Structure 1
Amino acid sequence: MVLQGRRPVLGILELDEGLAPDGAFLIAREGSMLHPATFDGPIIMEIVEGAFAETIVRGEPSLRLKDACVAAARRLVERGADVISADCGFFVRYQAAVAAAVNIPVVMSSLLLVPALLRQLSPAQKLAVVAADSRHCTEDLLGIEKPVDRSKVVVGGIEGGMFVGNAFARPYIQTDVGQIESEVAACVAQLRSEHSEIGTLLFECTAFPSIKNALRRITGLPIYDITDLCRLTLASVASPELS
Structure 2
Amino acid sequence: MMINGGNRHTETPLGVLCLDTRFAKPRGHLRNPRTFDYPVVYDVLEGVDIPRLLQAPGDDLCQLLIDRARRLEADGVKVVAGSCGFMARYQREVAQAVSIPVVLSSLTLLPWVSVLIGEGGIGVLTADDHALGHPHLEGVGWHRPATRTRIKGLQHGREFSEVILRGERDAIDVEAMTAEIRQATLELVEERDLAAVVLECTDLSAFAPVVREASGLPVFDIVQAIDLAVAAQGG
The answer to whether TM tops 0.5 is yes
Find 2:18's aligned residue among 4, 14, 17: 14
CA distance in 1, matches of 2:110, 2:56: 20
| Matching of residue 206 in structure 1 with residue 202 in structure 2 | yes
CA displacement 1:12-62 (0-9 Å, x = unmatched): 000022xx4xxxxx54311111233322211101112332111213451x3
Matched, 1:150 2:146: yes
In the TM superposition, residue 87 of structure 1 has moved relative to its aligned partner by 0.7
Indicate conservation of the 8 Å contact 2:186/2:214, yes or no: no
In 2, the alpha carbon distance for the partners of 1:110 and 1:182 equals 23
Write out per-residue CA displacement over residues 54-89 of structure 1, whole angstroms, 9 at most, x where no aligned residue: 1213451x3221121122212322332110001100
User: What's the TM-score once normalised by structure 1's chain length?
Assistant: 0.83
Identity of aligned residues (%): 28
CA RMSD of aligned residues (A): 2.2
Partner in structure 1 of residue 132 of structure 2: 137
Contact 1:45 1:76 in 2 (8 A): no
The reply to whether residue 216 of structure 1 matches residue 212 of structure 2 is yes
Q: Which moved more, 1:223-232 or 1:64-73?
A: 64-73
Q: Please give the alpha-carbon distance, in whole angstroms, between the structure 2 residues aligned to 1:205 and 1:185.
A: 15
Q: Which amino acid aligns with 1:57?
A: L
For 2:79, the equivalent position in structure 1 comes to: 83
Cα distance, 1:181–1:57 mapped onto 2, change above 3 Å: farther
Q: Tell me, in whole angstroms, the C-alpha distance in 2 between the residues paired with 1:39 and 1:134.
A: 28
Task: Give the superposition deviation at 1:170.
Answer: 5.1
**Amino acid corresponding to residue 181 of structure 1 in structure 2:** T
Residue in structure 1 matched with residue 40 of structure 2 by the alignment: 43
1:117 to 2:113 alignment: yes
**Alignment map for 1:230-241 (pairs within 5 Å):** 230-238=226-234
- Higher mean alpha-carbon deviation, 199-208 vs 51-60, is at 51-60
- Is the 2:185–2:214 contact (alpha carbons within 8 Å) kept by the matching residues of 1? no
Q: Output the amino acid matched with 2:47.
A: G
How many residues are aligned here? 223
Contact 2:24 2:172 survives alignment (8 Å) = no
The within-5 A match list for 1:147-186 is: 150-161=146-157, 162-169=159-166, 173-186=170-183
Please tell me whether the aligned partners of residues 167 and 174 of structure 1 are also in contact (alpha carbons under 8 angstroms): no
Structure 2 unaligned runs (5+)?
A: 1-9
TM norm structure 2: 0.86
Q: Is the 8 A contact 1:92 1:109 kept in 2?
A: yes
Which structure 1 residue ranges, 5 or more long, are not aligned? 1-5, 21-25
Can you list the C-alpha shifts for 1:90-125, whole angstroms capped at 9, x where unaligned?
A: 0111212221222111010000111111112243x2
Distance of 2:168 and 2:39 partners within structure 1? 27
AA at the equivalent of 2:179: S
Residues 198-237 of structure 1, C-alpha deviations (whole Å, 9 max, x = no match): 1111000011111111222232210000001000000000
Give runs of ≥4 in structure 1 deviating > 4 Å.
none
